[in-house]
Amino acid sequence: MSNIAYIGIGTNLGDRLANYRKAVAAIGEIRDTRVTRESSLYESEPHGRARNWFLNGVVEVATELEAKELLKELQKIEASMGRKRAAKGKRASVSRTIDLDILLFNNETIESRTLTVPHPELTNRRFVLLPLSELAPALKHPQVGETISALLVASPDDKKVTFYKP
C-alpha cells in the first residue's frame, strides 16, 4: 500500500469504548485500506462547549486511497455512527458520537476547501499528540519540522489527558 495516514479518533457521547472500537473496525473495512497500528486509549478533558470527557486514540493506516478519498470514507463512517456535523469553527467545541480526523497523510501538506493536512490543530492538542507520539515519536511535522514527541513536550494545551484502561 502506497500511502500512510494517521487518523485521530474521538468520542464523548454514548458508549465511548463501543463507539471507538466500532470506528476502528469500520476504518479497517475501507476499501484498499488496512489498520496497521493502534495507539493506547486516552481520556481527555473536553474543550469548549462539550461537557463529557472524550475517549481518544490514533490509528495508523496503509491505504491506496488518496487523502480526499480517505476523508470521504471517514465521513461516511461518522454519518453511519450518528455524527452530526457542527458549523465550521465550532467543531472542536461540541460533543460527538465519533470524530475521525486525518492528522497526517504521508509527508504531504494539503490545503483545500474540504481538507487540511496536517490537521490544523495537531500541534495544539495533547489528546492527539500523546497517542500519535506512541505510534510515531520521531515523525516530523511536515510544516513545523519538529518531531511529534517534541511537539508534545512543547504543547500549549493544559487540558488533562490520562491513560484509559478499558
The C-alpha cell that represents 105 in the structure block: 497523510
Question: What's the rounded Cα separation, in Å, for the pair 151 and 15?
Answer: 31
How far apart, in whole angstroms, are the C-alpha atoms of residue 128 and residue 149?
11
Q: Which of 31, 49, 51, 83 is an active site residue?
A: 83
Q: Is 85 a catalytic residue?
A: no
- Dist. CA 38–CA 114, nearest whole Å: 26
Catalytic residue among 101, 125, 126, 157: 101
The residues facing 41 across adjacent strands are 164
Q: Which three cell numbers stand for residue 149?
A: 514527541
Which listed residue (34, 85, 96, 125) is catalytic?
Answer: 96
Grouping H, G, I as helix, E, B as strand and the rest as coil, residue 154 is: helix
Q: Verify whether residue 101 is a known catalytic residue.
A: yes
Residues 150, 166: Cα–Cα separation, whole Å: 28
Set 16, 99, 125, 126: catalytic member: 99
Peptide bond into 118 cis (omega under 30): yes
User: Is 37 annotated in the active site?
Assistant: no
| Grid cell locating 101 | 480526523
34 in catalytic set: no
Residues annotated as catalytic (active site), given as ranges: 83, 96, 99, 101
